[in-house]
Amino acid sequence: MNTIQNRVSEPAVSDELTLVQAAKAGDVGAFEELVRRYDRNVFRIAQHITQNREDAEDVVQDAFLKAYGNLNQFQGQSKFYTWLVRIAVNEALMKLRRRRPERMVSLDEDVKTEEDSLPREVADWSPNPEQQYSQAELRDILSRTIQGLPPSFRTVFVLRDVEGLSTEETAEALDLSIPAVKSRLLRARLQLRDRLSRYFQRRESADGGPKHNGGDGNQ
């Protein structure tokens, strides 16, 4: 099995500190380069957490401005990107709390027991399930599926599996322990897999006998 690839390339990290130092010294151009490097990542993370495009736009602006305003607080023990993600996640969670004041939104929530994550649907998938759908349909399916996860699960999933942060970086960015990151990641992955099975499971031919459809009929 392949390990997960990081979406922030390593060579980019080597001169990152130089840019941060220049930005600290007042070089806005250097900070603009940092924005160029990470704005797509911050936007993706923010939209995954808030599930709202306008909120995600606000988070991009607020997170970068907060980072700029607090550059002197960045000591360089972690990567700038991990530090920025931490700021962005906090901004995104604040947006989510404002939008859903009736529900407590916390990364500490431990919503369900292990048993709830045990797979219910073990039917195999088609060889290239994503090719059954158009790009737009697929994005809609993926977006609706991940929306159904608790914020604490989808945040860990997006940082680890979409953005490619390491377990340690994810723990640092979310202020969680490593076992907590691993536990949420396992449950997020299994729940997403379970929910996607309704769209992607292998279809039997017409004469192939009865076939349980794990979906809800909204195919």
Q: Which residues bind another protein (CB under 8 A)?
A: 1-5, 7, 26, 28, 31-32, 35-36, 39-40, 43-44, 47-48, 56-57, 60-61, 64-65, 68-69, 71, 118-119, 122-125, 129-130, 138-139, 142-143, 146, 157, 161-162, 164, 167, 182, 185-186, 189-190, 192-193, 196-197, 200
Return the amino acid letter for 128. N
Nearest residue (CB) to another protein, 107 versus 156: 156
Distance CA 36, CA 162 (A): 19
Nearest residue (CB) to another protein, 46 versus 206: 46
Nearest residue (CB) to another protein, 36 versus 210: 36
Distance CA 138, CA 168 (A): 31
What are the contacts of 9-18 at 24+ separation with CB within 8 A?
12/37, 13/79, 13/81, 16/79, 16/80, 16/81, 17/76, 17/80
Distance CA 62, CA 51 (A): 17
Q: How far is the CB of 142 from another protein (least distance, A)?
A: 5
Nearest residue (CB) to another protein, 83 versus 101: 83
Residues contacting residue 197 through CB under 8 Å, at least 6 positions apart: 121, 123, 125, 214
Nearest residue (CB) to another protein, 3 versus 75: 3
Nearest to 106 by CA among 141, 62, 153: 153
Return the amino acid letter for 171. A
Q: How far is the CB of 197 from another protein (least distance, A)?
A: 7
Q: How far is the CB of 102 from another protein (least distance, A)?
A: 25
Q: How far is the CB of 196 from another protein (least distance, A)?
A: 6
